[in-house]
């Protein structure tokens, strides 16, 4: 589960996905507060890094 960086809610929906060099980049929006953020999922480590949304 991925928590919203802003409110910590675990409810988010993926609005777009694209391949990243080493994994997958996902654009998400929080279902509770509407905050948009992206995650990069690295296949190598299976770690998920939430990042702030780029404007
Ligand atoms: Zn939120």
Domain that holds residue 43: 12-52
Instruction: Say how many domains are in the chain.
Output: 1
- Ion ligand 1: protein residues whose beta carbon lies under 5 Å: 4, 6-7, 9, 30, 32-33, 35
* C-alpha dist (Å) from residue 46 to 15, 26, 49: 21, 14, 10
Q: Per the domain annotation, does 34 fall within a domain?
A: yes
Q: What is the mean pLDDT of the chain?
A: 86
Widest distance between CA atoms in the chain: 31
pLDDT in tens, 12-34: 999 999 998 888 999 999 999 99
2 lies in a domain?
no
Q: 45 by DSSP, 3-state: which?
A: coil
Centre of ligand 1 to C-alpha 6, Å, is: 5
In a domain, 5, yes or no: no
pTM summary value: 0.68
């Amino acid at each position: 589960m991925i928590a919203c960086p802003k409110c910590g809610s675990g409810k988010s929906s993926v609005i777009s996905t694209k391949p990243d060099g080493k994994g997958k980049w996902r654009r998400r929006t929080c279902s509770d507060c509407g905050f948009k953020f992206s995650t990069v999922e690295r296949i190598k480590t299976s770690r998920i890094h939430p990042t702030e949304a780029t404007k």
